[in-house]
Amino acid sequence: MNTREKALVAVAIILLVIGIAAGYGIGSSAAPVKTVTETATVTTTVGKAAATVTVTKTVTAAGGKPAGKTYKFKIFTVFGKGDPYFNDIKYFVSLVKNLTNGAVVFEPYSCPELGIKLAEQLRALKAGTSEFGLVSTAFLPEDPVFPLTSSKPGPLSDVYDLYYYIKEEEDIIVKTFNKFGVVYVGPMYYRPETVAFRVPVHSIADMKGKIIRSAGLAATFYKLLGLESVVMPGGELYTALQTGSVDALEWTDWSSHYVNGFYELAKYVFEPVRGVNFHSEAYPMYLCANPDVWNSLPEDYKRAIRAAIYLTFFHAGYRQDKAYQYYKQKCIKAGNVALKLPEEDFKKIIEAGVQVYIIMAKKSPTCLEYVKRHIHIWRDLGYVEWANALEQAMKKNGLI
């Protein structure tokens, strides 16, 4: 059984146990309780690996409405309420409410609704503008570690790849958030992104001279490929496409491409190639909390919130994949063209992607450690070409 297969079996068992608890809520001294015994069996098969696990779990659970204090919090995300990706935060909000029998209630907002600029997400949490947030670290200026933790080139291609990556880097992620006065609670999953152009293009060479909307380390990646890019928030993209201020955009995938109307203007859409991707691999955002608010919560409610974010993490992988295929067909019927970069461009992507990591590894000792771990992470997940390229580049630059 290889690393990926072990991870998948472990995830199935974890989700089963959490799922049983989720079915009955989590007990609190603030609520009446009942005891339920549940027995369940799950068999999971990944490649040649299989495991059958029977779990008998007794759950002391909150019954009915909470008898004590009800906690009400705001939670922000970079996605607007009409965006399909907003559905994932709604799912999380619903899970927390169910797990705590209504004792913890979140009201979700987009960053603009709360007047939160993308570069000021941590400041907004510390100031109490919002008690919780799904933080997009691609936009954070506080530490060079933050851009490394999200929205970057690489081979990670699905929810299981990302889960393994998070667990291997999580100690650094926790310390970096703590350093700037917020509490890291858990990750959220987002699939590799598409790139859509207003005019026909078929290769990286065809993209030269075109202006691509980007964010985070993607701008550095494009520059290394000899391409032009501009950082721009999502709310400005449709107008920018209309006026020709940008020739292309990367904003999640087919689902947001359709719902936001981008399909009307950018009809030539490059899909990610598994294990290569383009400007962005599968990436996380991070559920974070104001420390005073987090510390005021009873321990069982903290556990409920953590359980909910991990359940949402895996549910998002399922939901996003289904939405991707559904909206892809709608876009194609509307005249969009699904494209793949030619294989001769794959080496260019890996070379430029690795150089992004080399640049970032030189920013600080913590960045160096964070980047170095990618060698074994990628190798463990089977992305050997990426792992070898990074290892060779780090040796060449005297970093290992």
pLDDT tens, 203-230?
999 999 999 999 889 999 999 999 999 9
pLDDT recorded at residue 166: 98
d(CA 226, CA 117): 29
- CB-hemisphere CA count at 13 Å for 35? 2
Name the band, by pLDDT with cuts 50, 70 and 90, for residue 193.
very high
Domains of the chain with bracketed CATH: 3-62 (no CATH), 71-190+281-320 (3.40.190.170)
Closest C-alpha to 277, from 221, 231, 198:
221
Give helix 346-361 / helix 365-380 axis angle, nearest 10°: 150
Q: What is the pLDDT of residues 241-291, one digit of tens each?
A: 999 999 999 988 999 999 999 999 999 999 999 999 999 999 999 999 999
Task: Using the structure block, give the residue that is written with the tokens 């990367």.
Answer: 250
* Predicted pLDDT of residue 60: 40
Virtual CA dihedral for 33, 34, 37, 40, nearest 10 degrees?
Answer: -70
- Give whole-number Cα distances, 234 to 58, 79, 98, 115, in Å: 46, 8, 32, 15
Mean pLDDT, rounded, for 176-197? 98
Query: What's the pLDDT at 233?
Result: 77
Q: Which residue has the higher pLDDT, 291 or 15?
A: 291
At 353, list the tokens: 């992607």
Beta strands 132-135 and 71-77, pairing class: parallel
Decide which of 233 and 221 is more confident: 221
The more confident residue out of 161 and 251 is 161
pLDDT higher than threshold 80 for residue 3: no
Asked if pLDDT for residue 16 goes beyond 50, the answer is no
- pTM for the whole structure: 0.86
In this model, does residue 42 exceed pLDDT 90? no
For residue 8, the model assigns a pLDDT of 55
Dist. CA 201–CA 317, nearest whole Å? 29
